[in-house]
Homo-oligomer: A and B are copies of this chain.
């Protein structure tokens, strides 16, 4: 199954084909692919090159660890994410290593790293479904996150599966159209809310 974005202007195939599946195939992810996916995250840009990201990773090759990470997702996500052979939780370091001050861009920069990770996964034929729905306190406790670090999001990663393997209403959700706001709602110039002539 593919769900390419219906774009208004052309974009690169790796971005057009990226989407967040609910159905994952019963197929393990090759460790060398996973290494490239993590390496891609490593090379993102960040404020003062702080690289404020970290990842807790578990694969179905190590079932107890994988189950432990699954238990850190909200129930609504466990229902489908239990099909995914790789689970991760991203973690943010909230202060700068060089001076201990608050890093205003820490969460943003974790997003940049994950963006890289997702592009790399897509280029290797894999799909990523990111989840806001995790249990941050459980992550913090189970994995012993130190003070100054916050769990950010969950990631389910694997080869895309058959949508018919999903129960309703997930099956229907998997087939729904992909929607985005038009560019005219968020590309501005001169004043916030004034649409840039570039996109009209």
Task: Please give the residue numbers on chain A whose beta carbons come within 8 Å of chain B beta carbons, in ascending order.
Answer: 5, 7-12, 14-16, 18, 20, 31-32, 34-36, 38-40, 42-45, 47-49, 51, 53-59, 62, 65, 91, 104-105, 107-116, 118-120, 123, 130, 132, 143-146, 149, 152-153, 179-181, 183, 186-193, 196, 198-199
A105–B155 alpha-carbon span in the complex (Å): 14
A54–B40 alpha-carbon span in the complex (Å): 25
Which secondary structure dominates chain A's binding surface?
Answer: mixed
- Residues of B contacting A107 in the complex (Cβ-Cβ under 8 angstroms): 105, 107-108, 111
State whether A149 and B192 are in contact (beta carbons under 8 Å apart), knowing that A115-B116, A119-B15, A199-B35 are contacts in the complex: yes
State whether A36 and B10 are in contact (beta carbons under 8 Å apart), knowing that A132-B104, A180-B43 are contacts in the complex: yes
